[in-house]
Amino acid sequence: MRKADLYIRVSTDEQADKGYSQRDQEDRLRKYCGIKNIPVRYVYIEEHSAKSFKRPEWQKYLYNLRKSKNNRTGTLLLFTKWDRFSRNAGDAYQMINLLRTFGVEPGAIEQPLDLSVPENKIMLAFYLAAPEVENDRRALNVFHGMRRAKKEGRYMGTAPLGYVNKITEDKKKYIGLHEFEAPILKWAFEQIAASNFNTEQIWRKVQKKAKGKYRFSKNNFWVAIRNPLYCGKILIPPYKEEQGYFVTGQHQPLISEKLFQEVQDILDGRRRPIKPKIVSMDKLPLRGFLKCPNCNRMLTGSASKGKMGKYYYYYHCTTSCGTRFSAEPVNEMFLKQLRYLSPKCGVVDVFIEAFIHDFNHQTKTNNIERKNIVGQIDALNKRYQSALVKNADGEMEDEDFKELKKITQARIENLEKELGNLAIASTEIRDLVATALKKVANIDRRYENGDTEEKRVIVSSMFPENLVFNGTRHRTQRINSAVAYIYLKTSQLQGKKNGTNLSFLDLSQEVNHLGT
């Protein structure tokens, strides 16, 4: 006597859209078997898409058939409609043939077909193709809808690293900056542009800042630093004859286009190589910045273990000259000299105003350049509009118009980038200078209380020519020009004493002969 296996399939979206339910399908299948006096053997309930047969319950069913392949008494596999069985015609035909090798005949109770009649295979093809066409049409509609949304500057999908999905009061979805991830990722972009560390080292520092609580995996990080979304651009990928291009996104950019391009140039090797990091112990923050006063080589640093188990730290030369300094007095003297450079109260504000006044004077040229760029953009737009009219009137061939459009749009895009860079410089300069110089005001305390990494950043930014310690004080040939200028302002305000100089700046008269 033939038995029936019942296959019930429904996916979450189908339940919501069409009202399918597992209980309803099972009731109809059991009533059918009751009327036909067909005993039910197994019931398989699936909650998975029918796009393929890689479904958990279906694989379980095939496994059971293989186990009982020697007991092929003829079994019916029943489902309500053929779209419950499959939504892919090619896969469905292969699966029907496989089921027949196990002695199983599939059938839909609401779309009955006697497959022994050749003409019924035409109806089977229709029943199988119809849901596949429906799937393809739905997917195509979704694709075009998402592409249109991208062209409007909207980001689609789960928010990337540094952003979070949000909804406005009128139920419109958008992405906003993540209050914790965004500052860390922005810091990473700035560090790559500064070329102080390689990307692997920066990623490790990012992980340390995130404390393992956020999405800063290595893969996410690498994808992020290559993604133009962070400078406010969204990529429209090529499709058929339409070429790919970028549009301005509706979301808030994390960084400027200029910074993003600098990072890409570094990653692609089009800019200066990244300087290798010199690993330094907490007790040796000046390691890699000190030169030997005897042979002009860089001093290294190390620790020696004393008899009582205590460690003693030294800066020393690697050559036979024998230069060696205890680290403690070297570090103390550097801090003492650094305090001498710290500007007095009010000097930073005076310097900011002087800098902005000079900047505005110097940027008069930029204003003229900005007007020239705007004029060029207007001329190119007028040229494009004129060509559009000629093409519409038949006075210009389509190929010529497409070529002119391509060249014109590329030129306009480049000019807009130049214009954007000029605008960024003029609007952000005061905040940038104020932020940077406020840090300089407390440079000695920042150095004293900072970790090793912060100390090294301070030293590298202030002393581009490195330092020489002669046993009593540090000296250098050149100091950061901004710091030197602030010091001179301080001297003018408080009255400079005769015979004094800028703490570090008396090396040039004594060490020019080094290395000769």
**pLDDT tens across the length of the chain (516 residues):** 788 999 998 875 555 445 468 888 999 999 999 999 999 998 999 888 877 888 999 999 999 888 876 555 678 999 999 888 988 888 888 999 999 888 899 999 998 988 888 888 888 888 888 877 887 888 888 888 888 888 888 898 899 999 999 998 888 889 999 999 999 999 999 989 887 778 888 888 898 888 877 788 889 999 999 999 999 999 898 988 888 889 999 999 999 999 999 999 888 876 655 555 555 577 888 888 898 988 888 898 888 888 777 888 999 998 888 899 999 999 999 888 888 777 666 666 777 777 777 777 766 666 777 788 888 888 888 888 888 888 888 888 888 888 888 888 888 888 887 777 665 444 556 667 677 666 677 778 888 888 877 888 888 878 878 888 888 888 887 787 767 766 665 555 444 444 445 566 654 433 333 343
pLDDT score at 13: 56
- The pairs formed by 335-338 with CB atoms below 8 angstroms and a separation of 24 or more are 335/444, 335/447, 335/448, 337/473, 337/474, 337/503, 337/504, 338/443, 338/444, 338/447
Q: What tokens were used for 424?
A: 């960024």
pLDDT score at 513: 37
The tokens 């008494």 sit on which residue?
73
pLDDT score at 161: 92
**Helix/strand/coil (H, E, C) string of 463-493?**
CCCCEEECCCCEECCCCCHHHHHHHHHHHHH
Q: Which fold has domain 163-267?
A: Hect, E3 ligase catalytic domain fold (3.90.1750)
pTM: predicted TM-score of the whole model, two decimal places: 0.46
Q: Which residues contact 27 (CB under 8 A, 6 or more apart)?
A: none
Q: What's the residue count for the chain?
A: 516
Q: Which residues contact 311 (CB under 8 A, 6 or more apart)?
A: 303, 304, 305
The CATH number of the domain covering residues in 3-142: 3.40.50.1390
pLDDT score at 201: 85
pLDDT score at 502: 52
- Distances from the Cα of 97 to the Cα of 8, 102, 106, 357, angstroms: 20, 9, 10, 84
Q: Which residues contact 30 (CB under 8 A, 6 or more apart)?
A: 6, 40
Contact 29, 79 (CB under 8 A): yes
**Helix/strand/coil (H, E, C) string of 99-168?**
HHHCCEEEEECCCCCCCCCCCHHHHHHHHHHHHHHHHHHHHHHHHHHHHHHHHCCCCCCCCCCCEEEEEC
